[in-house]
Amino acid sequence: MRRFAILAVGFTYLYFLFLSLRSVLWGGIPFWSDPARDLLLAWDNLRKISLIGPPGGIPGVFYGPYWLWLNSLVLIFTKDPRFCSLFVILLPYFTLFPLLLWKLSKFIGRGAAIVIWLVFMTTYGSFYTTYIWQPYLVPLFLVGIAYIAGNNILNKPLLVGIMAAMLVNFHLSFGIVTCLAVSALFFVTWLVKDRRLKTLALYLAGVVTVFLPFIFFESRHGFNQVQAFMKAVINSAVYNSASVGQMGLTKAEILSRFLSIPAQFLQLPIGVVGVIWAILLLQLKNKFTKNQIGILVFLFFNITGLFLIFYTSKNPVWDYYFIGMETLFLLLMGLLVSKSRFLVTLALVWSLVLFGKHVGNFVRDPGADFLSVPSIASKQKTAETIIADAKNESYTVFAYSPSIYSFDYDYLFAWLAPNQNFGPVTYLIIPPDTSAAVKEDFIHYKTPDAKFVTVWEKVQKDKTLIIKRWPR
């Protein structure tokens, strides 16, 4: 039986690894403004080391530089975005993630750990393991901290401080709350069980070490980020106003997002999931080990803290703020399921059903033509079409984007045509689903008919339109 379980887990590992490698190496992953902007910043980081990262959701506040530094290490050898995904995202998920779950299984059992692996990879693996975006590394930190919490959070104070602070640097909105929750848990545990200044000092040393680039940057720039952050907090808490003039999710939508997360990964109606959670919460009456209590308290602090902060926030809350939340719910589900052998069996059966559905969907529709959908491959093909047509002549490229910025094509042309000279011949790139009115407005704004004439138009396989305009 044990040999069969090892073979089954090994098969699921190879299956998900194959799917992720295929998406990455064939260019099937999306390449939108945020990851492209980050890669441009990482490229600049090779010329001059940056102490800050990409802009955060609060005006004037930035992420930490670690995401840029990681990508810069890859860009030293190749500018191909696929390899950033391969080494910075995919590799950690197929090494650290299963290793951390295996370590966590010491406290929740192997069956529950396998359930977490299968459900996570079946529902979220296609983008968590491939998309080049820093918030997608958050689950690794959460599982790591959960393991440390189960192993007595005071045993590794320096490491806990480093990981809690790293969460802020990789996922600002989510990470601030999680860092505060971890800090509160650590401090309460320290007051009850330890009270040695050395333990507290090591935790603070971990946090401060991670924030050293931030401290150095702020000391040279008048602590502008600190002021911007405090202004946002004061405006929200005291004056009941937002720091940015955007709406974000409503309170009803925030509540709905929280409640729908378990329904999403279990792929069941929300009413059925409500019954399941009621049964799982009954397991709280069972006896928990000290290790399990540590994990349970860590999850409780985080889930309740995130809900309260997001729900009461005066600043806009966006969908991406919830990245990582499903990991907390999955860990909680795994912990509660582990208290009953019958529930572990049921959860394993259902997770295998979900895995079987995933395999069936893949067999019916492999979806391997990545040139026909918005992806790195299709955008690279668009850029290469323009470069091939222009040959060695000077030209200019304008790509339409609702967000105004066209970081995706800026990066692709910097990579594929590093010696491009700008000239009057103009290529316009218009993505699929752009309305006719917007398309015409973009064409006439960038290349007025009084000054330009269309030479040709080409529609790419993914429906992207390329227009070559020649000066009159």
Count the domains in the chain. 2
**How far is Cα 14 from Cα 27, in angstroms, rounded to an integer?**
19
d(CA 60, CA 57): 9
Same domain? 376 vs 280: no
**Per-residue pLDDT, 472:** 81
Confidence of residue 435 (pLDDT cuts 50, 70, 90): very high
pLDDT reported for residue 116:
97
Both 280 and 407 in one domain: the answer is no
> Which range marks the domain in which residue 386 is found?
372-471
**Per-residue buried b or exposed e for 438-466, using 16+ beta carbons within 10 Å of the residue's own CB:** ebeebbeebbeeeebeeeeeeebebebbb
Strand order in the sheet with 426-430: 396-399, 426-430, 465-471, 452-459
Q: What is the pLDDT of residue 241?
A: 52
Band of pLDDT at residue 419, cut at 50, 70 and 90: confident
CA distance linking residue 259 with residue 310, whole number of Å:
13
Q: Is it the case that residue 283 has pLDDT exceeding 90? A: no
pTM for the full model?
Answer: 0.92
Domain boundary among 331, 364, 397: 364
Cβ–Cβ < 8 Å for 55, 225: no
Mean pLDDT across 229-238: 73
pLDDT of 368 > 80? The answer is: no
Closest CA to 38 of 15, 10, 12, 70: 70
Q: For a pLDDT cut of 90, what percent of the chain falls above it?
A: 70
Q: What's the pLDDT band for 132 if we cut at 50, 70, 90?
A: very high
How much is the pLDDT for 316?
Answer: 83
Task: Please tell me the number of Cα atoms within 13 Å of 203 on its side-chain side.
Answer: 23
Examine the domain organization and report whether 389 and 275 are in the same domain.
no
Report whether 313 contacts 167 (CB < 8 A): no
Predicted local distance difference test score (pLDDT) of residue 54: 93
Q: Are residues 141 and 209 in the same domain?
A: yes
Which residue is listed with tokens 């997360």? 261
Kindly indicate the confidence band of residue 236, based on its pLDDT and cuts at 50, 70 and 90.
low
On whether both 305 and 441 belong to a single domain, the answer is no
Res 47 pLDDT > 90 = yes
- Judged by phi (left if over 0) then psi (alpha if -120 to 50, else beta), residue 240 lies in left
**Alpha carbon 30 to chain centroid, angstroms:** 13
Domain boundary residue, one of 364, 384, 419:
364
Domain boundary (335, 364, 393) is at 364
pLDDT (average), residues 138-146: 95
- Count Cβ atoms below 10 Å from residue 288 Cβ, excluding itself: 17
Tell me the backbone φ, ψ of residue 28, rounded to 5 degrees: -90, 5
| Mean predicted confidence (pLDDT) in 315-327 | 91
Contacts of 88 (CB under 8 A, 6+ apart): 70, 71, 74, 132
pLDDT at 3 over 90: no
